[in-house]
Amino acid sequence: MKKREVQASVKDERLVKKRRDQMIKGAVTLFIEKGFHRTTTREIAKASGFSIGTLYEYIRTKEDVLYLVCDSIYDQVSDRLQKDLDTSCGTLESLKTGIADYFRVVDELQDEVLVMYQEVKSLSKDALPYVLKKEIEMVGMFEQIISRCVENKELELTEDQIKMSAHNIFVQGQMWAFRRWSLKKMYSLEDYIQLQTELLIQGMRRAETLISNI
Amino acid sequence: MKKREVQASVKDERLVKKRRDQMIKGAVTLFIEKGFHRTTTREIAKASGFSIGTLYEYIRTKEDVLYLVCDSIYDQVSDRLQKDLDTSCGTLESLKTGIADYFRVVDELQDEVLVMYQEVKSLSKDALPYVLKKEIEMVGMFEQIISRCVENKELELTEDQIKMSAHNIFVQGQMWAFRRWSLKKMYSLEDYIQLQTELLIQGMRRAETLISNI
Amino acid sequence: MKKREVQASVKDERLVKKRRDQMIKGAVTLFIEKGFHRTTTREIAKASGFSIGTLYEYIRTKEDVLYLVCDSIYDQVSDRLQKDLDTSCGTLESLKTGIADYFRVVDELQDEVLVMYQEVKSLSKDALPYVLKKEIEMVGMFEQIISRCVENKELELTEDQIKMSAHNIFVQGQMWAFRRWSLKKMYSLEDYIQLQTELLIQGMRRAETLISNI
Amino acid sequence: MKKREVQASVKDERLVKKRRDQMIKGAVTLFIEKGFHRTTTREIAKASGFSIGTLYEYIRTKEDVLYLVCDSIYDQVSDRLQKDLDTSCGTLESLKTGIADYFRVVDELQDEVLVMYQEVKSLSKDALPYVLKKEIEMVGMFEQIISRCVENKELELTEDQIKMSAHNIFVQGQMWAFRRWSLKKMYSLEDYIQLQTELLIQGMRRAETLISNI
DNA sequence: GATGAATGAGTTTTCATTCAT
DNA sequence: AATGAATGAAAACTCATTCAT
């Protein structure tokens, strides 16, 4: 599945990229502050540094802005994960690094991640699949990292358990952004990473024990 | 902290309760279908079975409806959890029952839970704390159930680990509603309950091992 | 074919009728002055004596106003014609009366008729047929009046000639509104009626002569 | 009265003519399809084969395009009529030829004629007279052709009757374009020409009889 | 207590026109 | 001469809220 094209009236591709970057940056701030629905297109234009007319030279509907924002955030997180996947070698250590790295990106982009999760549902039936696909891909990356550990006999897990574990890692990462108001009272990022990594990995190792006990 | 009062013009308390129940029922359906922002007050009035004028006899702003809805959903989930807490006796078995029960309510109310999580951020600074408090209470219930196991020597966990585990249980429950489009492809509710319970509890038991190793 | 329904949010039918009459009156004046496209909905609302919000309680789109206006004008002209048709008795005299009456309504409603002809094309594919049908009905009334003369041996015309003559009467009436800037320099309404009636009726009688000569 | 000047920034007259021809051709198609108001200047530029910037090198406002289009259509019809006038010799035959020729141009340019009549009212107070003048000229040509017949004793009509007859011919021509949706169901172009010519000329001849009878 | 007509501020989007390149 | 990105005024339409009945 290719990226969904957002139509622009302006032809100069380089300019389109530049203006859209301005736009995403401006919009994220506003979405964080007041949410997608309470943000007006005029505000987005202003925050992006151009007029309302110019805004509409680069998108067709307000929803396009949301799509662009979500897409960009996913890309950022996804890129970082990809790097870990590329260097993962099937050791538990590389899995831990992957998890820690992922949690750290989420921490850096916590506002963005938050916005994305609170607003995706506002995407039309049209754009939603493109965004959800990105998510599936990311969970898939964790599956691969774990799979390598399994192949490498570092872990012994069924397919189902691999999937669920990957899913859990993904979710616990998001939670750091999602429930920070509650979590940050108790833990620093590094504490959280360590605790969750323990719980996650020990969970997996136990699962493996259980299997061997059957 | 007491419940936030939503002002009504009508005095008869019994009537207020009745009308608001109609309202919540109608509104939830609409919020599930189109989200809070895309639902109009007229639609809410219609779905509730009375006129727009009457609607405003029982609330003051549209946001009040959202608050009422969120509050009601939390109450439902919370009530069920409370029962488990009341009967929990410090055995691992009662913890497992608590988890399973919680996951099942979430499954029953999955649409409602979803709506709530997607829309809470639309609550004003004013109403938000009242809702978040409910959430803290619920996590607190799990903490208590786990604590009893610890007191009972069924588990050996630090305060931090108790808190984090309670938090994780809570989150994994929500995930069943949140990510069902992805999870339901792989697991039935009962599968999910079993797998997550294993991962969660084994995670805790391992953590306990780790501590003893220090 | 029934009238096209223009949806109103307001339920009181009597009120709907009243407000729409206000609306039509206000809109016609504006359309005459600046045309449909150059007239804004706000102006229509103001000219109708209510707010923009109220306007939209009685219509759904700006085009609805145009449809209402066109429909109303046709109805007025058509009603008058219907009376003449009802009393027509197959004499040349009653045909002349019909023509004269028709020309006089057109004169009274000249602004309205003008507007209608300049703006119908702005009606959507959806509404157009309903308006054109009205026109066909009106031409049909003239056909009937002429047919009665033919049955009565006052005129001797083929079906085609009846149709064309009816059409010509209809068109010459419109022309009085359409080209008044040019015609009024030369003729008073009564002059125009007399001259056109002569040309039209003598045309028919000649046509009859021609047939008999074949 | 001279032609209204439409200002161009470009000096090269030949180029101006060429670009404007492209423009008129592109614009007519669009106006036929969606009307003047619903056509954007961007669309006109595109249909003309150049950029929006270039478009504005050859006109000053969107309305200029409409004026140019109307002017061009009138010129085409008018040119054809002029030829008939030049060769008219005062016989009924040449009158008939004139009528038939005129009806045929209207048929060829029916879309254009239609557009013109539906959109002239959109011309500003400034441009309108220039267009109406063209129309008066054209009616004048018919007056002249008829007058020659009168001078030639082929017809015996008062000045008023000549004017009205010329006017009627002109109008019936337009009607072929205007009401083709209704007329084409009944007649072919040639049928229409024959029938109308009969009615028109016989009308005139009768009128002449009537006069002599007074 | 219930109703629903009235309100108008606020929203998204379009598009004629300009002007630097 | 040609281009097309930038502009912002203006347009249609929505909807939470009020208040007279």
Domain co-membership, D50 together with D68 = no
Strand F nucleotides below 7 A of a protein CB? 1-20
D42 CA from F6 C1′ (Å)? 15
- How far is residue A23's CA from residue A49's CA, in Å, rounded to a whole number? 8
Strand E at less than 7 A from CB of A76: no
Domain co-membership, D44 together with D96 = no
Domain co-membership, A170 together with A79 = yes
- CB distance B158 to B101 below 8 Å: no
Q: What is the pLDDT of residues C49-60, one digit of tens each?
A: 999 999 999 999
Please give the residue that has the higher pLDDT: either B86 or A178. Answer: B86
- Nearest one of A100, A133, A101, A115 to A178, comparing CA atoms: A115
Strand F at less than 7 A from CB of C83: no
- Nearest one of C193, C87, C176, C98 to C139, comparing CA atoms: C98
> What Å distances lie between residue C177 and A54, C112, C170, CA to CA?
46, 9, 12
Give the end of a domain, one of D60, D78, D104: D60
DSSP states along A124-166: -TTTHHHHHHHHHHHHHHHHHHHHHHHHTTS----HHHHHHHH
Query: Does the structure show a pLDDT above 70 at B207?
Result: no
Residue D132, pLDDT score? 85
CA distance C207 to chain D (A): 7
Residue D23, pLDDT score? 97
Residue B96 pLDDT level (bands cut at 50, 70, 90):
very high
DSSP states along B34-98: HHHHHS-HHHHHHHHTS-HHHHHHH-SSHHHHHHHHHHHHHHHHHHHHHHHHHH--S-HHHHHHH
Give the end of a domain, one of B16, B37, B60: B60
Q: For residue A167, which residues of chain B lie inside 8 Å, CB to CB?
A: 175, 179, 182-183
Range D178-199 average pLDDT: 87
- CB distance C101 to C77 below 8 Å: no
> What Å distances lie between residue D184 and A132, C125, D33, D175, CA to CA?
56, 20, 20, 11
**Which secondary-structure segment (H or E) carries B163?**
helix B159-178
Q: For residue D168, which residues of chain C lie inside 8 Å, CB to CB?
A: 172, 199
Enclosing domain of residue C24: 7-60
In this structure, how many other beta carbons lie within 10 angstroms of the beta carbon of residue D181?
Answer: 11
Place of tokens 């585990």: B165
- pLDDT mean across residues, chain C: 90
Strand E at less than 7 A from CB of C20: no
Share of chain A above pLDDT 90, in %: 61
Domain co-membership, B92 together with B38 = no
Whether residue A213 is contained in a domain is answered as no
Whether residue B212 is contained in a domain is answered as no
Domain co-membership, D127 together with D35 = no
Nearest to C168 among D35, D199, D207 (CB): D199
* Contact status of D200 with chain C (Cβ, < 8 Å): yes
- Nearest one of C194, C72, C183, C66 to C127, comparing CA atoms: C66
Q: Taking the CA of residue B11 as centre, how many other CA atoms within 13 Å lie in the half-sphere pointing to its CB?
A: 0
Residue C209 pLDDT level (bands cut at 50, 70, 90):
low
Nearest to D186 among C132, C163, C196 (CB): C163
Domain co-membership, B122 together with B32 = no
- How far is residue B39's CA from residue B30's CA, in Å, rounded to a whole number? 7
Residue C214, pLDDT score? 44
Q: What is the pLDDT of residues A104-130, one digit of tens each?
A: 999 999 999 988 888 888 888 888 888
Strand F at less than 7 A from CB of B42: yes
* Contact status of D88 with chain C (Cβ, < 8 Å): no
- How far is residue C80's CA from residue A71's CA, in Å, rounded to a whole number? 65
Place of tokens 């028919």: C204
Residue B1 pLDDT level (bands cut at 50, 70, 90):
low
CA dihedral B133, B139, B145, B147 (to 10 degrees): -90
D165 CA from F4 C1′ (Å)? 53
- CB distance A101 to A84 below 8 Å: yes
- What does DSSP assign to residue B9? S
* Contact status of B211 with chain A (Cβ, < 8 Å): no
Strand E nucleotides below 7 A of a protein CB? 1-20
Nearest to B195 among A35, A136, A164 (CB): A164
- Nearest one of D97, D35, D107, D122 to D77, comparing CA atoms: D107
Query: Does the structure show a pLDDT above 90 at C200?
Result: no
CA B53 to chain centre: 31
Range C75-101 average pLDDT: 92
Range in A71-75, A148-152, B203-207 the model is least confident about: B203-207
* 3-state DSSP percent of chain D in helix, strand and coil, to 5: 80, 0, 20
Whether residue B1 is contained in a domain is answered as no
> What Å distances lie between residue D118 and B214, C121, C178, D123, D167, CA to CA?
91, 8, 12, 11, 19
Nearest to C182 among D136, D183, D203 (CB): D136
Residue A212, pLDDT score? 52
Domain co-membership, C151 together with C165 = yes
- How far is residue D107's CA from residue D88's CA, in Å, rounded to a whole number? 22
Range B79-104 average pLDDT: 92
Range D112-132 average pLDDT: 87
Residue B14, pLDDT score? 95
Query: Does the structure show a pLDDT above 50 at A209?
Result: yes
Query: Does the structure show a pLDDT above 60 at B94?
Result: yes
- Chains D, B in contact: 3+ Cβ pairs under 8 A? no
Give the list of residues 6+ apart from residue A20 with CB closer than 8 angstroms, or none.
Answer: A58, A68
Range D168-194 average pLDDT: 88
Residue C191, token pair as written in the block: 């002059």
Q: Do C122 and D172 touch (CB under 8 A)?
A: no
Q: What is the pLDDT of residues A154-173, one digit of tens each?
A: 998 889 889 888 988 998 89
Q: Specify the CATH number for the domain of residue A167.
A: 1.10.357.10
Q: For residue A164, which residues of chain B lie inside 8 Å, CB to CB?
A: 186-187, 195-196, 199
- Nearest one of C80, C72, C76, C60 to C31, comparing CA atoms: C72
Residue A214, pLDDT score? 45
Residue B199, pLDDT score? 79
Residue B82, token pair as written in the block: 């409370």
Residue A126, pLDDT score? 84
Residue A26 pLDDT level (bands cut at 50, 70, 90):
very high
Q: Do A202 and B200 touch (CB under 8 A)?
A: no
Place of tokens 């395009």: D65
Whether residue D26 is contained in a domain is answered as yes
Q: Specify the CATH number for the domain of residue C34.
A: 1.10.10.60
Whether residue D214 is contained in a domain is answered as no
CA B96 to chain centre: 18
- How far is residue A200's CA from residue B164's CA, in Å, rounded to a whole number? 12
Vertex D64: Cα angle to D58 and D65 (nearest 5): 80
Angle separating helix axes D189-213 and C189-213, nearest 10 degrees: 110
Residue B123, token pair as written in the block: 């609550």
* Contact status of A183 with chain B (Cβ, < 8 Å): yes
- Nearest one of C12, C92, C8, C98 to C54, comparing CA atoms: C8
Q: For residue A183, which residues of chain B lie inside 8 Å, CB to CB?
A: 167
A53 CA from F9 C1′ (Å)? 11
- pLDDT mean across residues, chain B: 90
* Contact status of D205 with chain C (Cβ, < 8 Å): yes
Domain co-membership, D93 together with D36 = no
- How far is residue C208's CA from residue A63's CA, in Å, rounded to a whole number? 69
- How far is residue D90's CA from residue D157's CA, in Å, rounded to a whole number? 14
Residue A140, token pair as written in the block: 């898939």
- Nearest one of D79, D173, D68 to D131, comparing CA atoms: D68
Q: Do D160 and C195 touch (CB under 8 A)?
A: yes
A25, exposed or middle or buried, with CB in 10 Å at 0-12, 13-18, 19+? Answer: middle
A50 CA from E20 C1′ (Å)? 17
**Measuring from the CA of residue D64 to each C1', which nucleotide is nearest?**
E16
Residue D120, pLDDT score? 87
Domain co-membership, A113 together with A189 = yes
Residue B23, pLDDT score? 97
Domain co-membership, D125 together with D157 = yes
Q: Do C171 and D164 touch (CB under 8 A)?
A: no
Whether residue A34 is contained in a domain is answered as yes
Whether residue B180 is contained in a domain is answered as yes
Diameter over CA atoms, chain C: 67
In this structure, how many other beta carbons lie within 10 angstroms of the beta carbon of residue D67?
Answer: 23
Residue D106, token pair as written in the block: 């209207």
Place of tokens 């799990």: B142
Please give the residue that has the higher pLDDT: either C180 or D36. Answer: D36
Strand F at less than 7 A from CB of D41: no
Domain co-membership, B56 together with B66 = no
Q: For residue D196, which residues of chain C lie inside 8 Å, CB to CB?
A: 164
Give the list of residues 6+ apart from residue D200 with CB closer than 8 angstroms, or none.
Answer: C203, D99, D165, D168, D169, D172
Instruction: Name the domain count of chain D.
Output: 2
Strand E at less than 7 A from CB of D53: yes
Domain co-membership, B48 together with B69 = no
Give the list of residues 6+ apart from residue C176 with CB closer than 8 angstroms, or none.
Answer: C103, C106, C107, C110, C183, C189, C192
Give the list of residues 6+ apart from residue C31 with CB closer than 8 angstroms, or none.
Answer: C39, C66, C69, C115, C119
Place of tokens 């004269």: C100
Place of tokens 């004013």: B126
Residue D6, pLDDT score? 93
Whether residue D149 is contained in a domain is answered as yes
Residue B208, pLDDT score? 62
Vertex A191: Cα angle to A186 and A196 (nearest 5): 100
The count of residues in chain B is 214
Query: Does the structure show a pLDDT above 50 at A21?
Result: yes
- How far is residue C103's CA from residue D163's CA, in Å, rounded to a whole number? 19
Nearest to D175 among C171, C182, C200 (CB): C171
Q: What is the pLDDT of residues C119-142, one digit of tens each?
A: 888 898 888 888 888 889 999 999
